[in-house]
Amino acid sequence: MVQAIIFDLWETLGSKGYKVSQELQKQFDIPYTSEYLHTYEHSIQLKIWDCPETMAKSFLEHFSVEITPENIQHFIRIYGPYLHNSFLFPGMKELLHTLKEKYTLGLLSNTTNFERDFLDKHDIRPLFDVVVFSCDIAALKPSEEMFSAITTKLSLPYNECLFIDDSKRNIAAAQALGMQVIHFQSVTQLKEELRSLEIISLS
């Protein structure tokens, strides 16, 4: 039986309004490989940064791009506007309020410490009982360490948690651990799947 529902953040609860990783790839002419996103996440989402400039240097170093004041500013120009442009998907906040009435809610995200403000901007932080960010524990989904971190904080076994994420890779990892899962594609689709699982009513 589901006791807790765990959400991913980006492209599940909401969006930055543009693909930061893709824009950085274009700006610095980084070849696309299957490892690009993996390296991108490792470069900026595994520690607490004191300022965006330090984070920019890590990104540039990971991709062997020259660390110059100009390149640092290019990074910040692309990364910086995300909070202003970010938005919750329509209907998501209302859905969270509905789920909160019956279930414990968790948030599990690969993200930087600067992006935590998204929760306050959209006034959804109080809806989550437990929040785990990759930057706080130096681990990334789909590692078991990330999933273990949140289920430990929830004091629940994997099979009593429902995990919702837009990434098929993360969904597969959670399912392999015994979690129930929903691959997020839209709020409408999510509601339909939640109804089929009898998590929410048909009304």
The owner of tokens 């992006």 is 115
Question: Which amino acid does the sequence have at 103?
Answer: Y
For the chain, domain boundaries:
4-15+87-196, 20-83
Report the distance separating Cα 180 and Cα 95, nearest Å.
19
Q: How confident is the model at residue 13 (pLDDT cuts 50, 70, 90)?
A: very high
Sequence-ordered list of residues with C-beta below 8 angstroms from that of 28, at least 6 positions apart, any chain: 60, 63, 65, 71, 74
If you average pLDDT over residues 35-40, what whole number do you get?
Answer: 93
- 74 has a pLDDT exceeding 60: yes
CATH number of 4-15+87-196: 3.40.50.1000
Q: What is the mean pLDDT of residues 153-165?
A: 98
203 pLDDT higher than 80: no
